[in-house]
Amino acid sequence: MEPFGMELPRFLQWTDRFVYERDVTPLSGWFAPWVTVTCYFVGLRILQWRMKDRKAMEFPRLLFLHNIVLSAASSVVFAFMAYILWMKHSIRGYGLREMICGVQMHEEGGSLKLAYYINYWFKYYELLDTILLVLRKKPVMFLHEYHHAATLVLTWSQLREHSTVQWMPIGINLFVHIVMYYYYAVSAVGIRVWWKKYLTTLQILQFVVDVVACSYAYAIFIANGMSYAACYGTQVGAVTGILILTSYLILFIQFYFRTYGKAPKRGAKQD
């Protein structure tokens, strides 16, 4: 019997065969994310030191290509995830609670886990964002470095801990990245957009929804005597997710008010 009680489209029959196994699937072990994050921070310090007395590099076409590829790739995975979630909701009849906490979200087929896994791979490639900033001698904020490194660890941990609620943060993040990397792509070739400020607002709303959803799932787990039957996943996954997402929310709110919260000085020219 097919996972959805019906014959699946051919491409889903293929993607549903995907199996994620701890310490077996490539990059699923402890070594890959933690060594990568360590090398990321050390490598950035070395690169910044090497670029200190060098001329900034400019490569608008490469920047455009890098960002438009990430925007397009995020669009594809987002659409794929949305289709799977629609099938679970409309065909299987799962409500929001079942989709956030139900073990079936983990056990039924491999398509959703494949989307999570591809998204996890994206986080390695996205580290290139920071390298390109350093090569152009642009300032690299703590928020930028922390967000890139922590998101790699977050996506890895949620896969390992089988967090059923992870589809929501991942789905919203993919949508935000469609918009964000499109903005970076057009900015790289000199096109200005009026909605830059609202991109940060969208990111803040993303983390509000993420924290609420993950806290809701963990509350159900605690309220039912820490029963995995009530909300599938692990305490490690839940606590890790809530802490990292909450830290994002705080840091992005601080960034918003530092960047947009100050009133312009009298007589100052505004864009």
DSSP per position, 185-233? HHHHTT---TTHHHHHHHHHHHHHHHHHHHHHHHHHHHHTTS-TTTS-S
For the stretch 187-239, pLDDT in tens is 999 999 989 889 999 999 999 999 999 999 999 988 888 877 788 888 899 99
Mean pLDDT across the chain: 89
Q: Are 116 and 110 in contact (CB under 8 A)?
A: no
pLDDT of 13 reads: 79
Please state the φ and ψ torsions of residue 178, each to the nearest 5 degrees: -55, -50
pLDDT of 263 reads: 44
Cα–Cα distance for residue pair 228/244, rounded to 1 Å: 22
8 confidence band (pLDDT: 50, 70, 90): low
Cα-based distances in Å from 192 to 14, 130, 179, 182, 230: 42, 21, 14, 12, 48
Catalytic residue among 66, 144, 147, 177: 147
Whether residue 147 lies in the annotated active site: yes
Q: Are 80 and 167 in contact (CB under 8 A)?
A: no
For the stretch 79-130, pLDDT in tens is 999 998 888 777 677 888 888 998 877 777 789 999 999 999 999 999 999 9
Is the pTM value of this prediction over 0.85?
yes
pLDDT of 55 reads: 96
Average pLDDT over residues 160-178: 95
pLDDT of 231 reads: 87
Percent of the chain with pLDDT over 90: 70
Domain edges within the chain: 57-260
Percent of the chain with pLDDT over 70: 93
Cα(first)–Cα(last) distance of the chain, in Å? Answer: 60
Cα–Cα distance for residue pair 179/193, rounded to 1 Å: 12
